[in-house]
Amino acid sequence: MSEDTRKSAEDLIDKAVEVATEAQTSEAVASAELNDLHESVGLKVVTEPLAEEEVDFDTFSKSDFRAVKVKECTAVPKSKKLLKFVLDDGSGTDRVILSGIHANYEPEELVGKTLIAIVNLPPRRMMGIDSCGMIISAIHEVDGKEALNVLMVDDKIPAGAKLY
């Protein structure tokens, strides 16, 4: 595929994503349309295989997934990958989570968004900052390059809403 054809295909995909978002089509429909579009322009999409190991319900129930509102998002100094999120998790106390997604998002794009995070992981120190949870993202591969999308949900969902 020539560089011009690839650029045109990428522009077309970007436009399709924009149109799907503006039209507020369901995520499943938009995903199917995007996969069809990838295939129609010759791009190969690869996802990881499903996990073979089963997790029992009690183990799954220990994970605390919550809707969180992004109050602030900044690049972590001296890091090419990390973004620092200050989040409203519904508890009344700000939560800080670091996420290695800077290659995919600029901080200002995420302020005000409602994301999904797991909030009961033990703190993990990165670049001198305690990260208290994990932002949930979906990853896949398009033509051999990793693509990452943060899970964003309807802003009508309040901070702290638990996912089941």
DSSP string, 72-97: EEEEPTT-SS-EEEEEE-SSSSEEEE
**Residues 62, 50: Cα–Cα separation, whole Å:** 21
Q: Give me Rg for the CA atoms of the chain.
A: 18
Q: Do residue 24 and residue 64 come from a single domain?
A: no
Single pTM value for the model: 0.72
Residue 124 lies in a domain: yes
Q: Domain range holding 61?
A: 57-150
Residue 80 lies in a domain: yes
Residue 52 lies in a domain: no
User: Is the CB of residue 98 less than 8 Å from the CB of residue 82?
Assistant: yes
Q: Do residue 61 and residue 100 come from a single domain?
A: yes
Q: Do residue 38 and residue 61 come from a single domain?
A: no
Q: Do residue 109 and residue 38 come from a single domain?
A: no
Q: Do residue 137 and residue 61 come from a single domain?
A: yes
Residue 69 lies in a domain: yes
**pLDDT one-digit tens code per residue, 121-147:** 999 999 999 999 999 999 998 888 889
Q: Do residue 122 and residue 63 come from a single domain?
A: yes
**pLDDT one-digit tens code per residue, 17-47:** 665 555 544 555 555 666 666 566 667 888 8
- The total of structural domains in the chain comes to 2
**Residues 30, 51: Cα–Cα separation, whole Å:** 25
